[in-house]
Structure 1
Amino acid sequence: MDPERVLVRLDHPFGAVKVTLAEWMARGPGGRPLVRPVAAKDRDTGRDLPLSVIPLRYRNDGEARLRIAAGELESPW
């Protein structure tokens, strides 16, 4: 799926933020290392998408961080 067509919702300490998957993949969590995508939608249709549309190394969840730390995945940021 085209990362420009996927909107991801990030739960941020200041509230929910929506960005394209392409933007998230380029910038990541920045200075907030625990911010991660919690939902995904098709930008064109508004249809909910599974988080699996986000490649594992970009999910910034516990599994992704563990695999990056173990050297199984390359850190994207």
Structure 2
Amino acid sequence: MTRGNQRDKDRQRAAARAKQAPKGACSQLDANKKALTIVCSICKQQFMGTSSASILNQHAESKHPKSSVTDCFPHLGGGS
């Protein structure tokens, strides 16, 4: 145990940093929930608002082959 004193100092420094850190500021969960703005009208699966049309087309083709893309996502308009 040649580094016992240094280890204690490091532990104290880490505890001081933990007290200074704002609570809840590191959580991304609430922001992720708010970002799920696109919803498939058939199965109600949620997608990020920044999802590209190709990802939404892929979902419609693989999960709902009998329905069109505009049935799943009316906001796309005439997407293929």
Q: Would you say same fold, with TM above 0.5?
A: no
TM-score after normalising by structure 1: 0.32
Q: More relative contact order in 1 or in 2 (CA 8 Å, sep 6+)?
A: 1
Decide which structure has greater helix share: 2
TM-score after normalising by structure 2: 0.31
